[in-house]
Amino acid sequence: MVDSRRVDKKVHMKLFKLLFTRLNITIYLLVLQITFFLGLTTYILIRFPLFYLLGSLLSGIVFLRLVRKDKPAAFKLTWVIVVLTFLPVGGLLYLLFGDKRPTRKIAKYIHEHALIAKYLDLDEAPNEVTSENCGRMSSLFQYIRNVSSYHAYKQTDVRYYTFSEQLFADLLVDLNQAQSFIFLEYFIIKEGVMWQQVLDILLQKVEAGVDVRLIVDDFGSMKRFTNRYIRKLRAKGIKIVRFNPLRPQLLMFMNNRDHRKIIVIDGHTAYNGGNNIADEYINVTQRFGVWKDTGIRLHGDAVWSFTLMFIEMWDIFCQKEARINDYEAYRVHHEAPAQGDGLILPYGDSPLDHEQLGENVYIDMLNQAQRYVYIFTPYLIISENMIYALQMAAKRGVDIKIVTPGIPDKKLVFRLTRSYYRFLLDAGVRIYEYTPGFMHAKSFVCDDKLAVVGTINLDYRSLYLHFECATLIYDANVIDQIKADAIETISVSQEVKIKKTKRSLFGRFVDAILHLFAPLM
């Protein structure tokens, strides 16, 4: 007979662990601080009318500053509503949460990227991109180089994966063959089959003398990468840093997350795409039906850009003695150049440089498209600039098709995604929902000539708040595979008709409110 007291104790322990995770404790402390802040503010405003006047004056100054600020209109409108609605504390709320400066470590990114940029600019043999060999797309390559220093490479073989299971199989082979170093940078790593198989290889490689370094986002990977777990892996030889560690402080700068997914092996092979390291990505478990994700494998000269992307982020968050000062030690000079075709341009996007590189690349592709643009994105929460670019391309006669999830991972965000459909459908954009499950891929393919595969979603977080990366591919045979995958995926998806987007009066009101606060989601 089962001891009921023992069962009760196990249930209580499980409940305790569930309620008092590091994330939950952080949330509790933040809620406590917010409650204290609001209570104290209310008391002061009621007790001392002068502070009411000063708070209103501050809100007025913040309002004028917002109107003049060089920010997206949707972002400004959201905070104007907050400031005016919560008068006289609205101005203070904006100063606390709306116009925050990065933590000292994240701010170092600008300095570190300047070092990387100089190194890229001094690259001995960057491939010249001209209108003769790239036509009208040469201006896009030139723009990326001017604002980020990343440039295009030849002699790079590209392999495209239509599902993460295929990518994972090749990744295990490449990891097993590593001889010098392995760099990994991920937003989410969860315990499971996928991570365990990767970890087993990493531990074997560490014992063989391979330099293994891992960057994990502290918010995305918090559940698995506890302080104890990190100490355990470090003790076994894996070097680990956490991106932007979460702090239970109101003034913390936690919105900027590391959403990049990068693996570099021995400087000659790199992986990039939408997949994190968790079992749902390879469909070992199915939380939202079939999980559709895409990725690429680079082999050749273009891997150097991903190597430098990793190094700059590593040097920001690692201890001083663990910095990588000798970049050249991690560069591979290929004796036998890879037999890839076309031009390959990996690039990173930062929220700190006031340049919406990820969004601008997408918009330029839409503006220059002549025949078609096919898009995979899990979220469709877009700025007026992106809406206009999609509408104009469709009105010019370009075949614009967008595939979003058929089964959502976040219901509120899914509703917000659907609320943007009508703006696009009216202009001739065609939208499909991936019937088998969740679409997590982030890719554009255009006119059989140009494609982007990476981590950049069509939402405010990816385009304005997160550190992201992607690979631009021009005039390579792999583009045919990317297009074929888009066509195949569209064939198993349900097209959204304009009738489906009609809402009741209350539904339209809810959507309008969600739009106002979209930049905060």
Q: Does the bond joining 405 to the residue before it have cis omega, within 30 degrees of 0?
A: no
Q: Is the pLDDT of residue 201 over 80?
A: yes
In the numeric block, which tokens belong to residue 306?
């991903």
HEC readout, 6-66: HHHHHHHHHHHHHHCCHHHHHHHHHHHHHHHHHHHHHHHHHHCHHHHHHHHHHHHHHHHHH
Determine contact, residues 346/450, Cβ cutoff 8 Å. no
Check residue 252 and give its pLDDT. 45
Which segment of 141-145, 262-266, 369-373, 431-435 scores lowest on mean pLDDT? 141-145
Determine contact, residues 334/155, Cβ cutoff 8 Å. yes
Check residue 119 and give its pLDDT. 74
Determine contact, residues 395/401, Cβ cutoff 8 Å. no
Check residue 515 and give its pLDDT. 66
Residue 316 CB-half CA count within 13 A: 27
CA dihedral 423, 465, 470, 372 (to 10 degrees): 10
Check residue 207 and give its pLDDT. 96
Higher-confidence position of 15 and 262: 262
Predicted TM-score of the model (pTM): 0.85
Higher-confidence position of 9 and 329: 329
Which segment of 21-25, 36-40, 274-278 scores lowest on mean pLDDT? 21-25
The overall average pLDDT reported for the chain is 85
Which segment of 28-37, 301-310, 356-365, 472-481 scores lowest on mean pLDDT? 28-37
Higher-confidence position of 87 and 519: 87
Higher-confidence position of 413 and 340: 413
Whole-angstrom Cα distance, residue 74 to residue 519?
Answer: 7
Q: Give the confidence band of 71 by pLDDT, cuts at 50, 70, 90.
A: low
Residues in the chain: 521
Q: Give the confidence band of 1 by pLDDT, cuts at 50, 70, 90.
A: very low
Give the pLDDT mean for 372-389.
94
Whole-angstrom Cα distance, residue 346 to residue 296?
Answer: 11
Please spell the DSSP secondary structure of 161-175, one letter per residue: ESSHHHHHHHHHHHH
- Percent of the chain predicted with pLDDT > 70: 82
Collect all residues with Cβ–Cβ distance below 8 Å to 36 and sequence separation of at least 6: none
Give the pLDDT mean for 286-297.
94
Give the pLDDT mean for 398-426.
91
Check residue 454 and give its pLDDT. 96
Collect all residues with Cβ–Cβ distance below 8 Å to 427 and sequence separation of at least 6: 390, 391, 392, 394, 395
